[in-house]
Chain A
Amino acid sequence: MHQKTTSIIILSYGALSILLVANGNIAYLVHPNYNLVILASGVLLCIMGITGIILGRREKTKMSITSRLRYLIPALIPALLLFVIHPRPLSSNWNQNLESGTTTIGGAREKKQVSQFSINTENRSLSDWISLLNGHRAPEEHKGEKVRISGFITMSKELGSNYFQISRHIISCCAADAQIIGLPVRYASGTKSALIKPDAWVEISGTIDIDTINGSPSPIIVLTDIKSINPPANPYEL
């Protein structure tokens, strides 16, 4: 295979990997645990690409421009697209898994031990709350605890008119395995309702309560305050 052409492709993907980590867009694509690996492989690919281009200068086989382009372009299209278009975080339409009130992320996702007895409960994230509420202590024991979390709003007919769900995508490896997790939020009508629209990113404050949803008691958040926020640099829960 034509060394220079191959090396150009390799150099492009190396540069792309480094770029994605450098400008932070990698956060929309993969779990942060992979950032270092992707950066390292980007650097190695660049080194291999540059070496190949230098070594290929003395190459004897000549490829015509058309066959070179025919070889280059299909391989380079994704890289070119990613250089030009910034990937966006997954929308709320992706993987609608709306069984609100029974949203669980599986007990062992608690990568950090979430203290059940912390005084400042407002530090807990959405996935912390879901782990706790599905954990050993009955949800009722968390009644009254203060919540402050951010996420995007999803609404569903099953929940009823005074409710929305505060949601996030959770990923293990990359965006391809993303699932939506969330908790129902009950609000009094009139409470800044202009902010409550689907897909809006908000930060909410409230307290934990238990309501009957779909016939069974479920933990919910009673809304006390809500404000609109910009989507965060890393929109996924981990």
Chain B
Amino acid sequence: MHTPMSILLTRISDGFTIFSALLAETIPFILLGTAISTILTLFVRDEALIKFVPKNRYLSILSANLFGFLFPVCECGNIPVAKRLMQKGLSPHIAIAFLLSAPVLNPIVIATTFTAFKNEPRIAIYRLIFSFLIAYIIGLILSYHPKPAEVISEKASHTHKEETCALPGESSWRAFVRICSSDFVMMLKNLIFGALLATIIQLILSQKAFLALGDNPIISVFVMVAFAAIISVCSTVDAFIALAYRTTFTSGSIVAFLIFGPLFDIKSLFLMRSALSWKFITIVTSLALLLSIIFGLLINIFG
């Protein structure tokens, strides 16, 4: 018998499972991302980094997009890397171009997307093209920002010297443990908050109503983009989730899900807070949302 109390307890139990699952699955990637970013901080000299990036505006953004091939973690792992790159003096628009393209333009995600859509490779191709375009366009727009320092969060910009290099007399090992630990815990706290919020939203929304909207070429795009933001899963496997909805949702909405999800979701929203200011997160997210919806609609109209 389903009494209101037993239904409530079931919901709480499911919520706890979902929340724990999000934590368990993301922690390894955060560890990897903070480890890589700490290595970058300690062992790559600022000057080397700046020399490596092409001077030309357009080429520099392009190189940032391709840099993602070296970092096959989902968006969670890339955030600490982007933060450290900015602290080392890399222009924010380049770090953002990297942050936006790395979750999709990497070997693992390309492989899983093509595997999931092997019967319909155009979906995978659309994902690659439009993800690249969005990352490039946003990087380009940001390169014209008059006050790039506003991009970085206050916490990240006011770094004390000790957070970015070894103290005098401190061994590299010790510095690594110190910096990586504090970065990790900061990301962890943001993750806990983001995962909690994502879980609550999933608990509240009903799936049946959402499925009914799949046919409409316009509404389906909006619905899928919202779904991508709520479901907060890594870009490495979201292709299989999109696949499950292939028969109920329009092509454009599936592609919109695949391009918006890696850019932004509730969980990564709070992780981004460790590196970027709210104002900036709002700007980037709005641009990403707008472009994702436009591309999704275009596919439905012309595809």
Q: Which residues of A contact B (CB under 8 A)?
A: 1, 3, 6-7, 9-10, 13, 17, 20, 26, 28-31, 34, 37-38, 40-41, 44-45, 48-49, 51-52, 55, 74-75, 77-78, 81-82, 85, 87-91, 93-99, 104-109, 172-177, 179
Interface residues in B110-134 (C-beta closer than 8 Å to A): 115-119
Bound Cα distance from A107 to B246, whole angstroms: 10
Q: Kindly list chain B residues whose C-beta atoms are within 8 Å of the C-beta of A97.
A: 207-208, 211
B182/A6 in contact, CB under 8 A: yes
The residue in chain A whose Cβ has the minimal distance to the Cβ of B2 is: A198
**Known A9-B188, A48-B177: A90·B207 in contact at CB below 8 Å:** no
Size category, B interface: 35 or more
A126 to chain B, nearest CB (A): 15
Asked if B48 CB lies within 8 Å of chain A CBs, one says no
Contact of A88 among B13, B23, B27, B184 (CB under 8 A): B13
Assuming the A-B contacts A28-B17, A176-B198, A176-B202, are A45 and B246 also in contact, with contact meaning beta carbons closer than 8 angstroms in the complex?
Answer: no
Are B178 and A13 closer than 8 Å at their CB atoms? Answer: no
Q: What's the Cα separation between A3 and B237 when bound, in Å?
A: 35
**Which of A44, A98, A172 interacts with B31 by CB under 8 Å?**
A44
Please give the distance in Å from A59's CB to the nearest CB on chain B. Answer: 10
> Which chain A residue lies CB-closest to B178?
A3
**CA A85 – CA B21 in complex, angstroms?**
14
Binds A, one of B39-47, B53-61, B78-86, B227-235: B227-235
Chain B residues lying within 8 Å of A13, measured Cβ to Cβ, are 27, 188
Q: Which of B22, B180, B207, B246 contacts A174 (CB 8 A)?
A: B22
Contact of A106 among B13, B232, B246 (CB under 8 A): B246
Interchain residue pairs A-B with the least CB separation, the first 8:
A175-B21, A106-B243, A41-B28, A174-B21, A173-B237, A29-B21, A172-B240, A174-B25
A93-B10, A106-B246 known; A48-B236 Cβ under 8 A: no
**Interchain CB contact (< 8 A) of A78 among B10, B19, B25:** B19
A55/B185 in contact, CB under 8 A:
no
Given contacts A1-B185, A51-B177, A108-B243, whether A29 and B13 have CB atoms under 8 Å apart is: no
Beta-carbon nearest neighbor of A20 in chain B: B24
* A82 contacts across to B, CB distance below 8 A: 20
Cross-chain contact A38 with B17 (CB below 8 angstroms): no
CB pair A94–B14 under 8 Å, yes or no, is yes
Bound-state CA distance A52–B173 (Å) is: 11
Shortest Cβ gap from B233 to chain A (Å): 5
Contact assessment for B244 and A29 in the assembled complex, using a CB-CB cutoff below 8 Å: no
Q: Which residues of A are found within 8 Å of B181, using beta-carbon distances?
A: 1, 3, 6-7, 10, 48-49, 52
Q: How far is the CA of A26 from the CA of B211 in the complex (A)?
A: 30
B192 touches A176 (CB 8 A): no
B interface, CB within 8 angstroms of A: 7, 10-11, 13-14, 16-25, 27-28, 31-32, 115-119, 174, 177-178, 180-182, 184-185, 188-189, 192, 198-199, 202, 207-208, 211, 231-234, 236-238, 240-241, 243-244, 246-247
New contact pairs (17) apart from A28-B17, A106-B247, A176-B202, CB-CB < 8 Å: A6-B182, A13-B27, A28-B21, A29-B24, A45-B31, A75-B185, A77-B192, A81-B16, A85-B16, A90-B18, A98-B208, A99-B211, A104-B244, A105-B244, A175-B18, A176-B198, A177-B237
Interface centre among B20, B202, B231, B247 (most CB of A within 10 A): B20
Question: In the assembled complex, which residues on chain B have CB atoms less than 8 Å from the CB atom of A1?
Answer: 181-182, 185
A48 to B207, CA, bound (A): 41
Assess A93 versus B185: contact at CB under 8 Å? Given A29-B20, A173-B233. no
Q: Nearest Cβ distance between residue B83 and chain A, in whole angstroms?
A: 16
Q: B180: nearest residue on chain A (CB-CB)?
A: A48
Please report the C-alpha to C-alpha distance between residue A174 and residue B11 in the assembled complex, in whole angstroms.
17
In the assembled complex, how far is the CB of residue A6 from the closest CB belonging to chain B, in whole angstroms?
5
In whole angstroms, how far apart are the Cα atoms of A174 and B119 in the complex? Answer: 25
**Are A93 and B243 in contact, CB atoms less than 8 angstroms apart?**
no
Once A29-B20, A87-B17 are accepted as A-B contacts, the answer to whether A108 and B119 lie under 8 Å apart by CB is yes
Minimum C-beta distance from B58 to chain A (A): 35
Contact B116 A108 (CB under 8 A): yes
CB proximity of B34 to chain A, nearest CB, Å: 10
